[in-house]
Amino acid sequence: MTAMQAQAGQQSERCVVLMVAATASGQGKTLVTAALARWHVRQGRRVRIFKCGPDFLDPRWHALASGAVVHNLDLWMTGEADIQARLAQAAQEADVILIEGVMGLFDGSPSAADLALRWNIPVLAVLQVGAMAQTCAAVVYGLKHYQPDLRFAGVLCNHVASAKHASLLQHSLEPTGDWLGALPKLQAPDSQGSAAAYLPSRHLGLVAAAEIPDAMARLDQAADALTQTPLGQMPWSEWQSRWSLDAMPHPPKPPMAERAPALQGKTIAIAHDAAFAFVYSANVQLLQDLGACCVFFSPLAGDDLPACDALWLPGGYPELHAPALRRNTQLQASIRTHWQQHKPIWAECGGMLALAESVRLRDGSVEALWGLLPAQATMQARLAGLGHQQLDWPANTELPSLRGHTFHYSTLDCSLPAWTHTHRPDASAGGEAVYRHGSLTASYFHAWFASSPEWMARLFLGALP
């Protein structure tokens, strides 16, 4: 064993890891994870946070709380090797690793519990108990014993009404040290007594932290509330003795194979603002690892298209910002010129909507958009697409499939035939159409680039069949 490997092993052994999970969505996982991160950071500890499953919005809050880049972990989408590498790297750099689960602890296949079991990660259950009393004990018992090999850290009850309520909950549990405290229903610092959500949300998830002026104050207030719980009063040495991460059996994933990077010398322009916010940091890193120079611009701020070889329009909320996008006529003209020059464009989900001719909003009004794609979008009251997806290379080749997910509330009526379709992991129906329009490739599909670097390299080189 080299000195570097020994040092990495020592750091892994002292690094604390904790997964924050719940019975379902909406229980307070994101708030508790971010508050725990903020609590540790204020004590001078280095914190890294990961989010289970596909998600663009929760990581924004976690990045604010931890001051570090947040990546996603998903046994199907990102893969076991990728997770192994990211956890091992984080264990070398941080004192605390926090992982926010997805949906309920055992929901999905693979689930957050599957990930916790694979790396023996202790699980902290967050349970919203505003309308619950002793039944809390039955729920906690189920979470703890449903999969006996799961490393259960304890329970933190959320939305507790009073000290008496907390005492009732605590004494209903098994006397095995599972009680880690109670959090009240928090009121936003600027809410002036209103019933507004502490972390507000809209149709695709939480409102991004950057859109909330007092976002950090909210996290600090939540961290302050944690200091009143047994979890927040637990000495750091006890955190380490209870929840230290086992030494990782493999070193971090090595950099990409030594060969000429496929995108060396290429510049990729990436739209990035409130209308185009759904960007995995790992996707940008993959493009850079392939040799690309990534430059960001803001259509909402009035930016023109930077000089580039390829354009990426990520997902987001173009329907909320249609008038501002429409006013940026110079950018519209530049994108059309880029397209006429046969330079590649990748538009995913909201990025595809922005290129449509129009969008019909839920109130029936119609907003004009950029019009490069002959299509009309319609916003729906309910989800129109959700779940893991993968995209196979159309030609007969050994190229790995591109994995990702879909999550959207709109539908698209496009006059073009689909070039191909994604499909679910089990190859069942329910895939998304992928459209080709000259050098434009567009779909509701959100891709995880590292699942098939060759796919993405060919796409941004304009080398699709």
414-441 pLDDT, tens digit per residue, is 999 999 999 999 877 779 999 999 999 9
Q: What is the CATH number of the domain that holds 111?
A: 3.40.50.300
340-394 tens-digit pLDDT = 999 999 999 999 999 999 999 999 999 999 999 999 999 999 888 889 999 998 8
Give the span between the Cα atoms of 417 and 136, in whole angstroms: 52
Q: Can you give the pLDDT at residue 260? A: 56
Same domain, 206 and 289: no
Residue 156, token pair as written in the block: 């933190």
How many residues are there in the chain?
465
Establish if 252 belongs to a structural domain. Answer: no
d(Cα 113, Cα 123) in Å, to the nearest integer?
8
Bridge partners, residue 155, by sequence: 125, 179
Total count of domains within the chain: 2
Q: How confident is the model at residue 1 (pLDDT cuts 50, 70, 90)?
A: very low
**pLDDT at position 178:** 94
Out of 209, 243, 277, pick the residue that ends a domain: 243
Residue 248 pLDDT level (bands cut at 50, 70, 90) = low
Task: Note whether 273 and 307 are same-domain residues.
Answer: yes
Give DSSP secondary structure letters for 363-403: TS-EEE---SSSEEEEE-SS-SEEEEEEE--SSSS-PPPEE
**420: in domain:** yes
Report the distance separating Cα 77 and Cα 283, nearest Å.
13
Residue 262 is assigned to a structural domain of this protein: no
Q: What is each CA distance from 462 to 411, 438, 441, in whole angstroms?
A: 27, 10, 10
∠182-221-41 over CA atoms, to 5°?
95
Residue 250 burial by CB count (10 A; 0-12/13-18/19+): exposed, middle or buried? exposed
Position 377, amino acid: A
* Residue 80, domain member (yes or no): yes
Say how far apart CA 257 and CA 289 lie, in whole Å: 10
Q: What is the pLDDT of residue 246?
A: 65
Q: What's residue 208's pLDDT?
A: 77
Residues above pLDDT 90, as percent of the chain: 78
* Residues tagged active-site: 349
Same domain assignment for residues 340 and 441? yes
The residues, ordered by sequence, that sit 6+ positions from 247 with a Cβ below 8 Å of its Cβ are 9, 12, 13
Instruction: Spell out the residues 6+ positions from residue 256 whose beta carbon is closer than 8 angstroms to its own.
Output: 289, 290, 453
| CATH number of the domain bearing residue 369 | 3.40.50.880
pLDDT at 255: 52
Q: Phi and psi of 83, rounded to 5°?
A: -65, -45
Q: Is residue 272 located within the same domain as residue 313?
A: yes
- Please spell the DSSP secondary structure of 288-345, one letter per residue: HHTTPEEEEE-TTTTPPPPS-SEEEE-BS-GGGSHHHHHH-HHHHHHHHHHHHTT--E
Whole-number pLDDT of residue 196: 54
In whole angstroms, what is the distance from residue 26 CA to residue 199 CA?
11
pLDDT at 410 over 90: yes
Amino acid 193: pLDDT: 44
Mean pLDDT, all residues of the chain: 90
pLDDT at 3: 39
pLDDT at 254: 54
Domain coverage including residue 61: 3-243
Structure tokens at 351: 């990025």
CB atoms within 10 A of CB 438: 13
Q: For residue 79, what pLDDT is reported?
A: 94
